[in-house]
Amino acid sequence: MAQVEMRVDLSNVLSAAIEGNTEQLIASVRDILHDTNSPDVLLGRLGMITVHGDSDGHPAAVLAAAAMLSRLIHFLPEPVDSTVPVKERALPLFFQAARLARTALRAGAGVEPNYPEPLFPSDLGENTTVGEALRKAVHSNDVLAVERLLFGLYGTGADYRTMEVRAFEAVADTFQHGGHPLIFAVRGFQLLDAVEWGDRVPNILHWLAPHLPLQSSSDEPAWARTVRDFASKPENSMKSVRTRLSTPKDENALELYKLVNSTSDTIQVCQGVYNTVIKSETSPVATAAVIALSAAELLCTLDNAEHEQYIKAAHGLLFASAVHQVMRRVQDVEALPLLYTSAAYVSALRQEIASSPLKQTEPTAAGTIPGGGFIASSQLETLQEQLKNKDFAGALATSQRYLKVGHDPRALFGAIAIAAGHIDATRDQGHTLQIVQAAAESYMAWPKALATTSADAFLHVALRAIVGGPLDEISVRF
């Protein structure tokens, strides 16, 4: 437990953010950063306040993105030319997330939440599991039942992974609002990771519950119903993974990657997922990874200028990366149907965008003369300047050279995260931070068995999101 960070006084930051006092917010954040080595914990604490006033969901998700990205800043080497104090490196991330969450912080500050009466597993009877009850509540749009069941698990002292997997399982075969229920679940639990769970769990459960149920007026697409029908058939269950003893053959995941990139229909894609996991004995993590790569490659073909289409495709990456995180966070087979949903979503997006009259672009080639020499810190400082100057080709070339030399990719994405903090989150709804987080997490979790398959698409979309985002003239100063 980061005990020091849990005692740091956030009142000045909170007041400045609520009042919209930009200069005071910068000064207050700068002060508290000098008192901590874990800015992610402080961002997590702001998240615990935000969720009480955040009915939309995005402010909390952006705080989670900033918290997780701030962890990468620790891996940055000592600077060569930068005048920014080491402890202030996370300032742009903190500033953007806190400013975006202003309205939710104002609404959530001082709130005494009214939690429902828990519905404990013992209250369900012998023939009903918590998972079954939660799925029923989600499909019948019963928000209160969803929250009571989650609080019932918490009240029993259930392991935190158990609470996670029950939430993931409940929405595994549903899809609405661009996949936000699952995205919010993953990001909400990451906020709890930042503050190490404990008695702060009710904050997130109360915030998350209204986002999970399948609403009667939802925009659930036809392919999602096809996925649900496919996953419900006993012959398509992937639960036998639980008893498999052989070593995963993750190199076999590439067949699914090709299938998702094709014009195959939803049934064929779902069958491909089943064949990959069960017949080809690929791990769920590697399966999710190649789906996320396909989503990233799709986003590579789009120009940020076509904003609506770009954001739609970006949500494919956000969802697929979230599923990738689920497979890494929990091993319970009840979450595996998310692989069907993720593959079908990315496949449907690909086909929709391919048929769109809007122009797609070819990925930009890397520049031939990357900057920064071979010293890691020098390369990363050059990269940040290139991103400030909107030099995508130069940034890509420098990043690829940095990685080719063998430097730490965590430090690379730490530098990219700081650059993302120079994009005005209030103007792009925090999408740049979320895209960079998704890309960073999936890149760094790329399976070793697939090392010969390039994962540079994740790097590409992270850099492109920053270069195409609206520069914040305030945060770019620090």
Mean pLDDT by 10 residues, the chain (478 residues): 70 95 96 91 97 97 98 91 83 97 95 94 92 96 98 94 96 95 98 95 98 88 96 97 94 97 97 98 98 97 83 97 98 96 98 74 50 82 95 96 96 98 96 98 97 97 96 88
- In whole angstroms, give the CA distance from residue 87 to residue 74: 9
Q: What is the pTM of this model?
A: 0.95
pLDDT reported for residue 219 = 83
pLDDT reported for residue 361 = 55
* CA nearest to 204, candidates 248, 237, 163: 163
CB atoms within 10 A of CB 454: 13
Under 8 Å between Cβ of 367 and 397: yes
* CA nearest to 46, candidates 19, 23, 14, 90: 14
pLDDT reported for residue 366 = 46
Give residue-wise pLDDT tens across range 326-380: 999 999 999 999 999 999 999 999 999 988 755 555 445 444 455 556 789 999 9
Burial 28-67 (b: 16+ CB within 10 A, else e): bbbebbeebebbbbbbbbbbbbbbbbbeebbbbbbbbbbb
Q: What are phi and psi of 472, to 5 degrees?
A: -95, 110
Please state whether 49 falls in left (phi above 0), alpha (psi between -120 and 50) or beta.
alpha
DSSP state of 317: H
Q: Containing H/E element for 386?
A: helix 376-388
